């Protein structure tokens, strides 16, 4: 996805989150992924919010033919909680995605994160 298309999609997600009372604190990504910092409301679940963001934005991208082929987000997502004391660090990380990934590819970052925290992908 080009930077121009990513910018349009991110702005649409921001607008859609406002309409759906999803408190989106930061959003940004790179060519193959997107990061969002979200504060969940007391009646919201991560699964519900992810579905609202991913499902609606996929529909919008395809409706407006922003890319030449049909678009769909991957089925899964990754979510972690962030303490209030780390919010500024996470916002900075999200806002600097393009610079960050010119230095370290996303795949390397995921592999390092999984190794550091002992996560593994389980195929069903």
pLDDT of residue 2: 84
CATH of 3-117, picked from 3.40.50.300, 1.10.275.10, 3.40.50.970, 3.30.70.1290, is: 3.30.70.1290
Looking at per-residue confidence, does 117 or 58 come out higher?
58
Give the residue extent of every domain in the chain. Answer: 3-117
- Residue-wise pLDDT for 35-55, tens only, equals 999 999 999 999 999 999 999
Strand, helix or coil for residue 29: strand
Helix (H) or strand (E) holding 19: helix 3-19
For residue 29, give the nearest of 13, 7, 56, 58 by alpha carbon.
7
How is residue 66 written in tokens? 């922003």
- Residue-wise pLDDT for 73-119, tens only, equals 988 888 889 999 999 999 999 999 888 777 888 888 888 888 888 88
How is residue 89 written in tokens? 């660090």
Predicted confidence (pLDDT) at residue 1 exceeds the cutoff of 80: no
pTM: 0.84
pLDDT of residue 123: 66
Helix (H) or strand (E) holding 83: none
For residue 114, give the nearest of 73, 76, 74, 78 by alpha carbon.
78
How is residue 37 written in tokens? 């910092």
């Amino acid at each position: 996805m080009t930077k121009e298309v990513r910018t349009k999609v991110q702005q649409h997600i921001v607008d859609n989150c406002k309409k759906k009372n999803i408190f989106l604190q930061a959003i940004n990504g790179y060519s193959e992924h997107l990061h969002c910092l979200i504060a969940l409301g007391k009646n919201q679940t991560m699964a519900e919010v992810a579905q609202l963001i991913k499902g609606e934005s996929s529909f919008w991208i395809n409706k407006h033919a922003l890319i030449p082929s049909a678009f769909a987000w991957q089925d899964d997502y990754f979510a972690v909680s962030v303490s209030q004391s780390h919010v500024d660090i996470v916002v900075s990380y999200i806002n600097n995605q393009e610079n960050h990934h010119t230095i370290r590819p996303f795949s390397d970052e995921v592999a390092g994160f999984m190794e550091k925290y002992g996560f593994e992908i389980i195929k069903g």
